Homo-oligomer: A and B are copies of this chain.
């Protein structure tokens, strides 16, 4: 689960597609000029997105890209995994007898954390963003219909 600028480009581009879904395909030229990313670089990113079925291209004039799945099925984790390939957890992983014996359970702990992070990002879909189109920074409308998201805005109470 890596996360870098490349992943950001992919996610924001996918958001763009999700927002303008009903108006037909979105061209890369639009996204490029709008987001200030190179066209050819976008093409490379979309090649990866297309390979895993997250988007589908429409050729010819009036063409562009459409989402390959319904907005509520596309998760942030998928998008990031498609372009920012995962971190290599090599390093004596599996064979945990690396040293003093009782140390070095950190691999396990990291995988725990990594899994949690994945679950978190896999619980957020594109629809969670386009649902509140102009509503900038929603302010905790209780009893929400969009489940599990607003939890993130809540407590953390104990720690800071």
| Chain A interfacial positions (CB closer than 8 Å to B) | 1-5, 8, 11-13, 15-16, 19-20, 30, 33-37, 72-73, 75-76, 87-89, 91-92, 98-100, 103-110, 112-113, 116-117, 119-125, 129, 133-134, 136-137, 147-149, 151-153, 155-160
Contact = CB atoms under 8 A, between A and B. Distances in A.
A149 to B, nearest CB: 8
A120 B125 CA distance: 16
Contacts of A157: 147-148
A11 B108 CA distance: 12
Given A4-B4, A156-B123, A103 B12 contact: no
B110 A8 contact: yes
Contacts of A147: 155, 157-158
14 contacts: A1-B3, A8-B89, A13-B106, A20-B103, A33-B98, A34-B100, A36-B98, A75-B160, A108-B136, A113-B129, A116-B153, A123-B159, A147-B158, A148-B157
Contacts of A152: 116, 119-120
